[in-house]
Amino acid sequence: MNIGTRIRELRIKSNLTQEELASRTELTKGFLSQLENDMASPSVATLQDIVEALGTDMSSFFREEPQNAEVFREDDYFEDERDNTTIRYIVPNAQKNEMEPILVEFEPGGTSEEVEPFEGEELGYVLQGRITLVFGDKEYVLKKGETFYLHGEKNHYLRNDSKTRAAVLWVSTPPVF
């Protein structure tokens, strides 16, 4: 956490100028400016005074607000390599969201882990190659551009029975991967 940035955010949210906050805390405007620009660090007692003048407490001051990112880049992905299968979690920490998308890449003979029954839904879109969806006692072969949509009441998994690589965008709600 950047303390100076947090002080500035709360000061602006409270509609206070640096002069007004300085007056309330018996600090100088120059010192507050240095704090907000991370050119100085407050003592614990000084920070306590600032926090109280901003109408909050130390616990709330240090509580991180959840970041709701809208865009994720390849550097953000978490990758899990297994035998002949690579899973890319393309939305970091998606388990806190309503749905969880993953990109699954299957080498020939690759298989996903079996998903146990759950109360939710899944959607898959084949981006590359051909995969077999095993859903309960049924099997479906899907090729590039085809989609599956499941209710999670049966065990299911994907496998690549072909001799070429396959890739599937797989989304679950709620997150189960």
Give yes or no for residue 127 having a pLDDT over 90.
Answer: yes
Residue 125's pLDDT is what?
98
Residue 84's pLDDT is what?
92
What digits encode the pLDDT tens for the residues 129-171? 999 999 999 999 999 999 999 999 999 999 999 999 999 999 9
Q: What is the dihedral of CA 8, 14, 19, 20, to 10 degrees?
A: -150
Burial zone of 94 (CB within 10 Å; 0-12 exposed, 13-18 middle, 19+ buried): buried
CA–CA separation, 23 and 17 (whole Å) = 10
Residue 2's pLDDT is what?
87
Residue 104 binned pLDDT confidence (cut-offs 50, 70, 90): very high
Residue 55's pLDDT is what?
93
Residue 66's pLDDT is what?
58
| Cis-peptide, bond into residue 174, ω within 30° of zero | yes
What digits encode the pLDDT tens for the residues 39-97? 999 999 999 999 999 999 999 898 876 567 789 888 888 889 988 999 999 998 777 78
Domain parsing of the chain, residue ranges: 3-62, 74-173
Q: Do domains 3-62 and 74-173 have the same CATH topology?
A: no
Pick the CATH number of 3-62 from 3.30.450.20, 3.10.20.740, 1.10.3720.10, 1.10.260.40: 1.10.260.40
Residue 133's pLDDT is what?
98
Residue 75's pLDDT is what?
85
Superfamily of domain 74-173: Jelly Rolls (2.60.120.10)
Could you tell me the pTM of the whole model? Answer: 0.63
Residue 65's pLDDT is what?
61
